[in-house]
Structure 1
């Protein structure tokens, strides 16, 4: 395999064509039927490129896909997802187009990354030792695929994650850990005009809790604690007896995640007549630089050999399934997917001019890792 040939115009055209097909098959994470249709589409595209069918894995009604080369424990896990944050019908208002840029819901995050994975593996002389796993619930925090990811990663020498690189093309060598919470405040309803004093206002109690929760952030430590959604009430003239608050937490260290977790779990409502119940917790540990350093240096050497360096690394706040593989003790490198901008935004886009280099880098890194195993 000549890695430089991997980035040829014909192969880039193949990546674009495969991407467009998958983008046009919408896959909102919350719609199981849509995720199943998307899995069928991704499986067809993958089979055409890879020359072998996917193994569907359905967990709690949600469809994931797996391709394996070889019966022995895999050497390299290539990891991606086909679900997106966009509701059905978005493709009608943000149509998929492909010119100098690929546009469309989920193009950057991460249908183009899947197309890169297919074509990179197909370009290998012998992909024996590779497992490609494409999950269907990453945007929800991987509730049904977490165990599958950890099982597939176990015993691997490397996990390569096809999330997008940053806007400059840098690979993601650190990611913050993440926690999510939903607090439900239960009070007592009453007529807001006749006898408001008989009520226990869940909304006022929620409001007091927002300040307490937000104060848990620590900018110096890189810890953010963000109230993200709130709802309350049943009628304009009724003291609300129920209110909900969701909270997003990001931190560089497990210790910080645990500190915030303990504080949220110990939250006492300001009004003793209102109770609070909590759902959620820590769902992704941090991706630490110690788990990416070796692979990043290897990728940088590959990029230099191919003449597509220098390669940079960056620390980011968002989490991915790479957090899970790293926590399982597997060296992990993230951000190997497409380069563009606007992930989760209506202007989401992918730079087609960068696809050749990304394809060559991924293929070269895979070949390097598999070659070491055979030696």
Structure 2
């Protein structure tokens, strides 16, 4: 493969400079235009534009067979005008800019890898526009594409040192509401039912569901309650973030939170929310990682490292429907969502070479010969 580092840098900068905060649908539409144009230039084909509830997603399908799904997103957490204080510049071999690492460089790696393939028959590239806030409009699309595929390669950023992500915790999110009864805090507090006190009981009950030995975290986060300083609170609420390594743990915490009961007479507890993303368990990625590691060693760019992370991605959805999934194939760098977000330029060619070779090998095998999942399943 010829060295296309300079072209990749220019392409990443072009995408980074087209800002795409998830909550700005106009910006997402402009970003989709930029990604579509780049893909059309490199791949010789315009994508399907799939707009769901105003959010723009893009899909390239090559050939009739559905075998390998490349998955990424073009939205970022950065608000408009961040590019002014965090310009897309390269200095000392490091490319910086909002969304560069998470994950616009991954999109460029995917497109350049596909461009290097002489035959793309059987590949789908799906680029979504709402991954950061939870993929509300794209989840069904992602799962449908995964069910058509034998393998999913996720272009999210790599872990430290270029590690691939072979396990991700599942994510559940809840909002616990407490209804009490208001009363004057000075004249007759005993006539009230204090929603804040009930909330404290529920917060402790939820926190007690965590299991450090199994890696399950249950974290009460934002809390609200009360109206004035001299009124027994009639309403209060708090949010909960749950991360679990296994489906069993995610189900256990889910059922427990939905079963919360009040401790104070007269209080009412209700729960909204639920499971957002299932876990990406190690079994879902083991064969693909072993394959990628073997390929990397053969190319002289291995061995590869594997790691498990607490953060989720759309790869959780694809693993959740039973499709083998390997994550973290995107850029090497660091600082996702932070001021020092960056990509190590020297790693771009190797990541692209690895992805190209991995796709090519997967495409050469017949569906019946792939020791993963049948595309007809």
Normalised TM-score (structure 1): 0.92
Deviations, residues 268-314 of structure 1 (Å, cap 9, x unaligned): 12323332221211122221222211111111121112111111111
Hey, what's the Cα distance between the residues in 2 that align with 1:239 and 1:142? Answer: 39
Query: Partner of 2:53 in structure 1?
Result: 60
Query: Partner of 2:94 in structure 1?
Result: 101
Hey, what's the Cα distance between the residues in 2 that align with 1:43 and 1:155? Answer: 23
Deviations, residues 141-163 of structure 1 (Å, cap 9, x unaligned): 22211111111112312110001
* Cα 1:31/1:189, change in 2 over 3 Å: farther
* Cα 1:189/1:13, change in 2 over 3 Å: farther
Query: Partner of 1:91 in structure 2?
Result: 83
Query: Partner of 1:269 in structure 2?
Result: 262
Query: Partner of 1:146 in structure 2?
Result: 139
- Asked if the contact 1:20/1:98 (under 8 Å) is kept, the reply is no
Q: CA deviation at 1:195?
A: 4.3
Q: Which of 65, 68, 86 is the equivalent residue of 1:73?
A: 65
Query: Partner of 2:168 in structure 1?
Result: 175
Hey, what's the Cα distance between the residues in 1 that align with 2:23 and 2:194? Answer: 32
RMSD between aligned residues: 1.9
Q: CA deviation at 1:219?
A: 0.6
Deviations, residues 1-25 of structure 1 (Å, cap 9, x unaligned): xxxx25x1xx122222111122222
Q: Which of 350, 353, 368 is the equivalent residue of 2:343?
A: 350
Gaps of 5+ in 1: none
Normalised TM-score (structure 2): 0.92
Q: Which of 300, 305, 318 is the equivalent residue of 2:298?
A: 305
Alignment of 1:1-375 (within 5 A): 5-6=1-2, 8=3, 11-70=4-63, 72-99=64-91, 100-373=93-366
* Cα 1:74/1:274, change in 2 over 3 Å: same
Query: Partner of 2:373 in structure 1?
Result: none
- Asked if the contact 2:28/2:75 (under 8 Å) is kept, the reply is yes
Deviations, residues 79-126 of structure 1 (Å, cap 9, x unaligned): 001112223333333333223212222221111111111111111111
- Asked if the contact 2:65/2:121 (under 8 Å) is kept, the reply is no
Hey, what's the Cα distance between the residues in 2 that align with 1:140 and 1:160? Answer: 21
Q: CA deviation at 1:32?
A: 2.3
- Asked if the contact 1:159/1:330 (under 8 Å) is kept, the reply is yes
Gaps of 5+ in 2: 370-377
Hey, what's the Cα distance between the residues in 2 that align with 1:35 and 1:203? Answer: 40
- Asked if the contact 2:209/2:253 (under 8 Å) is kept, the reply is yes
Hey, what's the Cα distance between the residues in 2 that align with 1:289 and 1:336? Answer: 16
Secondary structure of the corresponding residue to residue 230 of structure 1: strand
- Report how many aligned residue pairs link the two structures: 367
Q: Which moved more, 1:18-27 or 1:108-117?
A: 18-27
Q: CA deviation at 1:354?
A: 1.1
